[in-house]
Structure 1
Amino acid sequence: MKTSIYKFLIVGMGSIQFLSAQESQKTQKRQEFPFTHQNWKIENADGSQGEIKIVTFKNKSGIKLEPNQKVLLKNKEFKNFILEFYCNGLSGPGLGFRVQDRNSYEYLYLRLGLSGKKDALQYIPIYNGSLPWQLYNYPKYEGKAVFPREKVATLPIDLKSELIQGKAGNELRSFLLEKGFSFSQESEIALSDDINYIYDPNEAKALLFEEVDDDIVFLDPRTWIHVKVEVKGDTASFYIDDVKTPALVVENLKRDAMVGGISLIGDGAEVYFADVSIKEIRSGRKTEEYVAKEKLPSEYLTKWNVSEMFAKDSVNFVSQVDSLIQYEDKFRAVEADSDGLINISRFYDDMTKTVVLTCNLISDADKTVQLYFDYADHLVLLLNTEVLFDKGMNFQPPPEKGEEGRVFVNDESVELSLKKGTNRLTFMLSADNRQKFNWGFVAKLEENLEGIVVE
């Protein structure tokens, strides 16, 4: 299990287009947006308005965001654009684009503690304010990026014994103080396969360290990072420092392609942003565009009926399911997205609740088939009236449950003993009511569906 400090550091499809006419696109001149009251407004975590703070940090002038603040561009909206900015943070600074309101937008954030890893960048569609990072994962929605880090010290050989898990020793803290970095007595050293660092919880600051040519070097992650984002239609390309080669290309942005606002988003620590510029991309003339989405394999279960939200009875939940099924005609029809994913946050906004979803499997004979699926956060699965699966993650997924609890369709499986005729498959799915992040699932049958109809 990852430490809470580690969580702090890291949290922070193809389509074919046919155009009725040749479309030319015009990129407008780049427009800079200084951090003034005329251009921007600060929003605190509770939605109240904050104060704009302009500071010089690491030799660059920019805006300082306190933990969990965001800054929104005023009176400007964009659909297709090229945006560039610099950011400097410890955990997960991010960008909101095509913002409709504070709970509805497209979102990119940087996991600065995971430089060089395949999940250093994360794209997420935000519905109803949830942050479902476990549902949208690599290789489509997370990407590898290398973030610049400043070398600040080389550890003397006689202090290597100080680098052990737990409280940072006095000798190590004294050495770092000589190099200009003050760490309190509460500072801790964390060691893992991914990242090693010393962290001060009192001031939310850290230094990384790693072995380079038999030396232990300390690196300051708080360096300015150049970010470029190009958004056109359903595609977004994200660049880190290298503005010619994208680190992540998302080819099927999940929210509708519409005009919306821009926001720069902080996390649980101080974040700095600077040098924001935007070029709007406009169509040269009006065209009619047809988009053929890549079809999912037929074995995916994409059409479901979902109940209203309710509070789950952890003891008598089967009785709850039985009661709800009596009013199944009141359920609403929902459909999975192009990845086969049902993100409940698209439809409901209370992450303390549970829903029941049903679909029917009509079989031409008694037979056994395999169901593959994955979920977040707690799932009870029934076939007809029999409970076949009942597990939850509690934000501490078991080792076999994907990486960090990410949802992959082949992570779980059960055998379905279908009877001839109609069989009701029921998912009772509870949200992540602690972090308020993830609420969804994906499911498919084995490839051979001969003799089975899904309704």
Structure 2
Amino acid sequence: MTAGKQMYSLWDDLDRFDLGDSGAIPSEWNGKKALYLEKMNSAIYLRDEVKYDSFRLQAEVAIPGEVGFIGLVFGAKDPGNYELVYLAPVEIQYDPVINGSMTWQIYNGPSYQRPLPDTTGAWHKFSLEVQSEGARVFFGENTEPALIITRLQHGGQRLGKVGVWNFLPSYIRNLSIEEIPPASIEPEATDFSKLKSESFITEWYVSSPLIQDGAKDQTWTKAFVEENGTLNINRIYQAKPGAAVVVKSDFVIEEEEETVLSLGYSDSIRLWVNDKEVYQGDWCWSPPSHDGRIRPDFANVPIKWKLGVNSIRAEVSQRESFGWGLTVRTGLSNAGRN
């Protein structure tokens, strides 16, 4: 393999990038020239595609204030679908953008995010090593990865546009793209048998988006949950304020049983079991009290299940433009599909 490396200062070679409507401008922070970005959920792309099978993306990044996010993009299929890993003031987050929406509310926990000491107000080296089945994330001069991503949500799409991304004020400089030797990252497949043994609902039907005066001429799309048991509605419909869908699932049990159903969701939900409303609530990003992340034990509802066919139905709606979805565990040990 003949190694290759491309270097971009990001303050005097911006003609090599598609800036879109990012508003990115050359600037300076802590005595270093850099690219300054301040919009929300904004990406800029290198005009040329990366042709390396395995490569390292690296840059110097800085977050000047208490709130800000700066990241690296790869495998961009189009402006609304790409792999993203970003640095936040106190964490690293894998946050694949799907249908134009960030999805950190869906992909949370140690498989997707890692805590850091406060990084605010200083320059840091930030690197990704992208392989066919995943990516390794490095912070600072540490030679051990801070995070290993074992499942790329866009299907291991390495080829495509690369670039940089931000959410609120941040700086980035000296982006490099370097070919590296292939290295194995053991892929993580969705273990539906394990999820079912933990009583997750793994299959749902998702309606077409609701309209203001109610659902008319609904169509239904069969969907499966992610590896963490969450239904990612972003894969089907764009998350935008006011959007709403109905999701439903039926299953059979062989005797009556009482359990505690647990659920997590974003942003708002009404939930029915056997056509009886059992829960409604809101859960949005509103720091510091609400982080908006979807967790399967966020809410608990006692349920008396009936012999035979049981149904779960929910209306899930969006207030923001981030990831939306839900996760449900019935608490039943043996529930068959209808």
TM-score (norm 2): 0.85
* Structure 2 residue identity aligned to 1:242: E
> Structure 1 residue 100 and structure 2 residue 77: aligned?
yes
> Structure 1 residue 336 and structure 2 residue 219: aligned?
no
Greater shift in the superposed pair: 373-382 or 229-238: 229-238
Shift of the 349–244 alpha-carbon distance from structure 1 to 2, 3 Å rule, reads: same
In 2, are the aligned partners of 1:39 and 1:74 still within 8 Å (CA)?
yes
Q: Secondary structure at the match of 2:195?
A: coil
> Structure 1 residue 293 and structure 2 residue 189: aligned?
yes
> Structure 1 residue 304 and structure 2 residue 171: aligned?
no
Partner of 1:444: 329
In 2, are the aligned partners of 1:145 and 1:247 still within 8 Å (CA)?
no
Shift of the 257–145 alpha-carbon distance from structure 1 to 2, 3 Å rule, reads: same
List structure 1 segments (4+ residues) > 6 angstroms apart after TM superposition: 289-292
> Structure 1 residue 109 and structure 2 residue 86: aligned?
yes
| Residue from 106, 125, 133 that aligns with 1:135 | 106
Shift of the 360–56 alpha-carbon distance from structure 1 to 2, 3 Å rule, reads: closer
| Residue from 57, 60, 64 that aligns with 2:32 | 60
Higher helix fraction (1 or 2) = 1
Cα drift, residue 37 of structure 1 = 4.3
Aligned pairs, how many?
Answer: 324
Partner of 1:199: none
Cα drift, residue 222 of structure 1 = 2.7
- Structure 1 unaligned spans of 5+: 1-25, 115-119, 149-220, 314-319
> Structure 1 residue 71 and structure 2 residue 44: aligned?
yes
Q: Secondary structure at the match of 1:93?
A: strand
Alignment partners' CA distance in 1, 2:277 and 2:287: 21
TM-score (norm 1): 0.65
In 1, are the aligned partners of 2:134 and 2:187 still within 8 Å (CA)?
no
In 1, are the aligned partners of 2:195 and 2:229 still within 8 Å (CA)?
no
In 2, are the aligned partners of 1:42 and 1:72 still within 8 Å (CA)?
yes
* Structure 1 residue identity aligned to 2:17: W
Alignment partners' CA distance in 2, 1:67 and 1:291: 34
Alignment partners' CA distance in 2, 1:337 and 1:266: 26
Cα drift, residue 448 of structure 1 = 1.9
Alignment partners' CA distance in 2, 1:394 and 1:406: 8
Alignment partners' CA distance in 1, 2:28 and 2:188: 49
Cα drift, residue 312 of structure 1 = 5.6
Cα drift, residue 53 of structure 1 = 4.0
Cα drift, residue 342 of structure 1 = 0.7
In 2, are the aligned partners of 1:312 and 1:353 still within 8 Å (CA)?
no
Alignment partners' CA distance in 1, 2:165 and 2:117: 20
Partner of 1:154: none
Shift of the 417–56 alpha-carbon distance from structure 1 to 2, 3 Å rule, reads: closer
Alignment partners' CA distance in 1, 2:106 and 2:126: 24
In 1, are the aligned partners of 2:259 and 2:302 still within 8 Å (CA)?
yes
In 1, are the aligned partners of 2:150 and 2:188 still within 8 Å (CA)?
no
Alignment partners' CA distance in 1, 2:327 and 2:284: 19
Partner of 2:125: 226
In 2, are the aligned partners of 1:303 and 1:333 still within 8 Å (CA)?
yes
Alignment partners' CA distance in 1, 2:221 and 2:211: 18
* Structure 2 residue identity aligned to 1:333: K
Partner of 2:167: 267
Alignment partners' CA distance in 1, 2:275 and 2:127: 52
| Residue from 348, 356, 365 that aligns with 2:237 | 348
Cα drift, residue 396 of structure 1 = 4.7
Shift of the 350–244 alpha-carbon distance from structure 1 to 2, 3 Å rule, reads: closer
Q: Secondary structure at the match of 1:43?
A: coil
Q: Secondary structure at the match of 2:234?
A: helix
* Structure 2 residue identity aligned to 1:75: D
Output one character per residue of 1:257-304: Cα deviation in whole Å (capped at 9) or x when no partner: 1212112123222x32211111134769xxxx9967251332221111
Q: Secondary structure at the match of 2:301?
A: strand
Structure exhibiting the larger radius of gyration computed from Cα positions: 1
